Amino acid sequence: MEVERILSDLIRIPSVNPPGRETKVAEYLKRLFDGAGIRNEIIESAPGRGSFIATLGEGEKSLLFLSHEDVVPAGEGWDFDPFGGEIRAGLVCGRGALDCKDLVAAEAWAMLQLCKLKLNGKLIFAATADEESGGAYGAKFLLDKHPDKLRADFAINEGGEGPTKIGDRYAYFVQAGEKGSAWAQLKASGISCHGAVPTLGDNAVVKASESIVRLSRYKPRVRIIPEIKGLLDHLGWQREFGKITARNVDALLDAHPDRAFAETLRSLTRMTISTNMVQGGTKTNIVPDSCEAHVDIRVLPGQDREYLLKILRSIVGEDVSIEVPDFNLASFSPTRSPHFRLIETLGDIDCFPMMSAGATDSRFLRAKGIPAYGPAVVARDFDPALKKTYHARNERVDIKSVRLKADFLMKLAVSYLGTA
């Protein structure tokens, strides 16, 4: 079966998280792998929250192909059915086409080809639940409860960026680290009353709104960490513009022609704060006595929970409570390693390590001592406009890139593990 057909089938299984229901994806993969005679299993952390694991080969070396089955909600305004899996004009269309059912499909396809060979090491394929909502029901659960099932020398996962044109050449970026993530909740309390006489009450929505506006206006301190300085040096910006500093980096990014790439780099030079959900009030004619805002925060290395809480309190003031139930520090895998060098060599491209602005399940692997990398394997003529459909409407990916990714994964497994 062609890799794009697998991807189309996966998109047609609406594993939107919440609530997830990833077991349906796992069952589809199980049917594929059972048909090929590949040993596999489904592990549920809760009813309907199934992760799929399959293995090939035995030996001293081991490699993990990691990806996730769940997707974010589709929302409105699509030009096609977000769960139709339509294949047209060289594209596979639908929610998950880029994040990251394309990787699930590529890894599954590579496994289906590799089962025809005798590998000299162990190859593990894990498509996990719950990545989009924190990983508690997926990768984290598996590593806490079944760590040996994912134990490997290193892992390949999502997270890379590219290509972007630098001068007369193209550059690709391997995710070797990621910013820390913190999902904060701001809660404002007030006094309810009849909406016709609002001065008798204390409007919690207004209190929360004032804090949200202050958050939107906050300018985090710009800091160029060594990993990002090294990336900018690799790109030749220092030769072209002189020393890159916290004072001039925004001007350089503003002038970059690839806005998606420039904004990704911008987010890697500071903490980011984005208020993405607000819930308050029960009826139009009732002054609300409570309001809650959900804030997505990404932190740089060295910015811990205590630092974040201090910053938030200084911004929002004393009228709201602050909770940070989910906080993860930034994480990194070594880039001066044979595993990273192998990825560079196989790509046959200008390939640089980078830090990801978003969180992936790789952070759980790194916490257990398993290096994890996210190669950006896409076609050289990959349309930059497609990158803007991550977590947005009209998500789609070109078939050429999906096939290239699948071929890369197969070559990587053969190169690292070897065959009899």
* Per-residue confidence (pLDDT) for residue 173, from 0 to 100: 86
Are residues 390 and 371 part of one domain?
A: yes
pLDDT bucket at 240, cuts 50 / 70 / 90: low
Are residues 408 and 304 part of one domain?
A: no
Is 104 within the bounds of a domain? yes
Are residues 239 and 315 part of one domain?
A: yes
Q: Kindly report the CATH number assigned to the domain that includes residue 49.
A: 3.40.630.10
The tens digit of pLDDT for each residue in 29-85 reads 999 999 999 999 999 999 999 999 999 999 999 999 999 999 999 999 999 999 999
Are residues 188 and 296 part of one domain?
A: yes
As a whole number of angstroms, the distance between CA 334 and CA 228 comes to 15
Are residues 203 and 224 part of one domain?
A: yes
Residue at a domain's end among 328, 360, 381: 328
HSE-up (13 A, CA, CB side) for residue 320: 31
Residue owning tokens 């589709």: 74
Are residues 214 and 264 part of one domain?
A: yes
Are residues 50 and 115 part of one domain?
A: yes
Give residue 29's region: left, alpha or beta (phi > 0; psi -120 to 50): alpha
Instruction: Give me the phi and psi of 362, to 5 degrees please.
Output: -60, -30
Domain range enclosing 246 = 180-328
* Per-residue confidence (pLDDT) for residue 161, from 0 to 100: 80
As a whole number of angstroms, the distance between CA 218 and CA 314 comes to 10
Are residues 217 and 69 part of one domain?
A: no
As a whole number of angstroms, the distance between CA 318 and CA 320 comes to 6
Residue at a domain's end among 328, 362, 381: 328
Are residues 409 and 302 part of one domain?
A: no
Q: If we measure between CA atoms, which residue out of 391, 340, 417 comes closest to residue 70?
A: 391
Are residues 240 and 149 part of one domain?
A: no
The tens digit of pLDDT for each residue in 96-148 reads 999 999 999 999 999 999 999 999 999 999 999 999 999 999 999 999 999 99
Is 68 within the bounds of a domain? yes
Q: Kindly report the CATH number assigned to the domain that includes residue 201.
A: 3.30.70.360
Is 171 within the bounds of a domain? no
pLDDT bucket at 257, cuts 50 / 70 / 90: confident
The helix-helix angle for 399-417 and 338-347 (nearest 10°) equals 130
What is the rounded average pLDDT of the residues 315-321?
A: 94
Please name the residue ranges forming H helices in 183-258.
204-217, 226-234, 237-241, 249-254
* Per-residue confidence (pLDDT) for residue 232, from 0 to 100: 79
Residue at a domain's end among 272, 300, 328: 328
* Per-residue confidence (pLDDT) for residue 258, from 0 to 100: 78
Residue owning tokens 């071929």: 407
pLDDT bucket at 241, cuts 50 / 70 / 90: low
Number of domains in the chain: 2
Are residues 16 and 95 part of one domain?
A: yes
* Per-residue confidence (pLDDT) for residue 148, from 0 to 100: 97
As a whole number of angstroms, the distance between CA 313 and CA 321 comes to 9
Are residues 274 and 398 part of one domain?
A: no
Is 174 within the bounds of a domain? no
